[in-house]
Structure 1
Amino acid sequence: MTRVVLVHGIAQQLNGPETIAEAWLPCLNDGLALSGVGTLPRDDISVAFYGDLFRRPGHRGLGEPPLDASDVEPGLEHELLLSWWEAAAAADTRVPGPDATGRLRTPRVVQRALNALSHSAFFAGLAESAMIGSARQVRSYFTEPEVRRAAGERLARSVTGETVVIVAHSLGSVVAYETLCAHPQWQDLTLITLGSPLAVRGLVFDRLRPAPHGGTARWPVPLKRWINIADHGDAVALIKELAPSFGTRIQDQTVNNGAHAHDVRPYLTARETGLALAKALGRAVRS
């Protein structure tokens, strides 16, 4: 019985639905516990997994082929990296901004962005190749119709007559929004978005389907409730409030995820997420 559908974000191509479910379920239950309600059994959740759509084919050698600054494509990949850089620098004093000078300055602006992002809370510890790969997945979703279609189909197959809530992280919130808009026959669902980039103009918002009109995006017909949760330091969720772009019925909330602003785990363990999930499931919460 799938009551809760989970939609992951970027950089999950080497995982799978069971791996993600195993990682997310304890975190969800920790958030529910902070709300004073019982836990979810494994049978109550399913994962709309689409990460394999971004997995590269095999090649000679170990691991995935590395990417460097020269592999960043102009347009969306380039602009995403620069926007993440600006947001990370604004939120974290350890991250040199685009106007910073000194030893991190290089002739290539993309290389400067990658160097700076390596000091940020979200990208710390990630190789350049992984950062570029994250931007590339967003670009692939918006520019490769077969990827976009397949991701939406994965989510549509996961939603059943028993589903009451969709929990979507990062790029998964884009998949969730577009799929909900494409299925107006679904009814009475709750959407919980975590670290969502949906309202980022130019990069995400203006590329949505259906296309926004007059600066406002369409409200998905199946939704009776939409709770959006973002950390102030989340460089991927550049615009923390979705209500101005998607309608005042959205409940925008902020959380503090500590050093890992975009990591899904602290989003899931937050009491705010637990409260939203508990209410969607019709459970009484502790005041």
Structure 2
Amino acid sequence: MSKIVLVHGIAQSRKSADTLQPRWANAVIGGVRNAGHGQQADQLREEQLCPQPSIRVAFYGDLFRSPGAQGGATPEPGSTATDDLEERLAQAWLTEAARRASDPKDMRLAQLACAQLQPSAGQQGARSLTRSAVGYLANIRGFAPVGFAFAKAFVENSLREVSSYFTEPSLREAAQERVLNEIDDSTRLVIAHSLGTVVAFEALHRSEHPVALVTIGSPLALKNVIYDRLVPQPPTIPTCVTAWADFVDKNDLVAVHNDLRGDFPPKPGNPDVLASTVWVDNAAQPHDHQAYLTDPRVGQVVVAALQL
């Protein structure tokens, strides 16, 4: 198996482990090099050429792909529970944008949306509100860096993936199994991004292999939407985690801007291995996994976890 297991986030259903692994591995190695550890970066790059590379992606994005679906298509309506969760998540993202969007125009737009969109009654009402919220979100820079049409599809699919994960038990189980299948005694570090932090967190509660954990752009602490649906409840640091570092960009609207230490205590009798959240600056791509992974502080954590 691998020293490092990478767990991707939302909107990867049209990708594969083979397409993601080179980009993610290169970003991790780049972060190590940016941290001033050129020799260790070279070592990791050489190990990637081995039959059993040091860095592998636990891919679960295909679980969200509907048979016959076309890329960018609007997801089919789901159950009442799914629609309700999508509505809650869309409202939560708008609330975050209204509170802390860096662009004043984005903040005003989000504030207007929050004032106009009220919680709905019934499944049809939930879908209508969600469609309206998607339109607002797709015009906010954090969600629309490359144009409205792309952002609208991104937001729609992201909402559907998060809600599907929490409302479809078989999908949830399968996603966690993808992570657990990549972890064994040789694994030293799990790095997870976005929705992948949720999948990894729940999977690690089922693992006995000691690993360090890095979360980037994580929505784990999003109350009333994600945090309250995590397993186990109340959420605690997985017993197998020997160290946990969390990184958040100040403009990442998908992530929650709270120090996770207040929401994820250790289990009774276990050490508190969760460090204070580290704030990073990913410039124009606040939720981009490559921007997170190439940050020198993330690279330093990688070196420490692998004891390179």
TM bracket, shorter-chain basis: 0.7 to 0.9
1:27 and 1:112 map into 2 onto residues whose CA distance is 36
Tell me, yes or no, if the aligned pair for 1:4 and 1:166 is still in contact at 8 Å. yes
Measured against aligned partners, the alpha-carbon deviations of 1:92-139 in whole angstroms (never above 9, x if no partner) come to 3231344428xxx79964444223322323311324233111011000
Q: Mean alpha-carbon deviation: is it higher for 71-80 or for 41-50?
A: 71-80
Residue of structure 2 equivalent to 1:114: 134
Aligned pair partner of 1:46 in 29, 50, 56:
56
Tell me, yes or no, if the aligned pair for 2:213 and 2:245 is still in contact at 8 Å. yes
1:145 and 1:261 map into 2 onto residues whose CA distance is 31
Post-superposition shift, 1:28? 1.1
Post-superposition shift, 1:44? 0.4
Post-superposition shift, 1:34? 1.6
Please state whether the residue corresponding to 1:182 is helix, strand or coil: coil
Measured against aligned partners, the alpha-carbon deviations of 1:50-80 in whole angstroms (never above 9, x if no partner) come to 0000011115xx6453359999963110111
1:20 equivalent to 2:20? Answer: yes
Structure 1 residues without counterparts, runs of 5 or longer: none
Superposed CA RMSD in Å reads 2.5
1:71 and 1:64 map into 2 onto residues whose CA distance is 21
Richer in helix (by share): 2
Tell me, yes or no, if the aligned pair for 2:35 and 2:299 is still in contact at 8 Å. yes
1:227 equivalent to 2:252? Answer: no
Residue of structure 2 equivalent to 1:186: 209
1:71 and 1:85 map into 2 onto residues whose CA distance is 23
The 3 A distance-change label for structure 1 pair 249 and 17 is same
2:76 and 2:105 map into 1 onto residues whose CA distance is 23
Q: What percent of counterpart residues are identical?
A: 35
1:70 and 1:145 map into 2 onto residues whose CA distance is 14
Please state whether the residue corresponding to 2:199 is helix, strand or coil: helix
Residue of structure 2 equivalent to 1:264: 289
Structure 2 residues without counterparts, runs of 5 or longer: 119-127, 266-271
Post-superposition shift, 1:201? 1.0
1:278 equivalent to 2:303? Answer: yes
The 3 A distance-change label for structure 1 pair 135 and 85 is same
Post-superposition shift, 1:31? 0.8
Residue of structure 2 equivalent to 1:55: 65
2:293 and 2:260 map into 1 onto residues whose CA distance is 19
Q: How does 1:1-287 map to 2 (within 5 A)?
A: 1-37=1-37, 38-39=40-41, 40-41=44-45, 42=48, 43-58=53-68, 63=71, 65-66=73-74, 74-89=83-98, 90-92=100-102, 93-95=104-106, 96-100=108-112, 109-124=129-144, 125=147, 126-183=150-207, 185-187=208-210, 189-212=211-234, 217-247=235-265, 249-251=273-275, 252-283=277-308
Please state whether the residue corresponding to 2:205 is helix, strand or coil: helix
1:133 and 1:170 map into 2 onto residues whose CA distance is 14
Post-superposition shift, 1:254? 0.8
TM, length-normalised to structure 2:
0.81
Residue of structure 1 equivalent to 2:124: none
Matched pairs, number: 273
1:63 and 1:235 map into 2 onto residues whose CA distance is 24
Measured against aligned partners, the alpha-carbon deviations of 1:159-196 in whole angstroms (never above 9, x if no partner) come to 0211000000011111111111112x222x10000011
Please state whether the residue corresponding to 1:158 is helix, strand or coil: coil
Post-superposition shift, 1:276? 0.8
Residue of structure 1 equivalent to 2:269: none
Please state whether the residue corresponding to 2:278 is helix, strand or coil: strand
Q: After TM superposition, what 4+ stretches of structure 1 lie above 4 angstroms from structure 2?
A: 67-73, 105-109
Post-superposition shift, 1:239? 3.3
TM, length-normalised to structure 1:
0.87
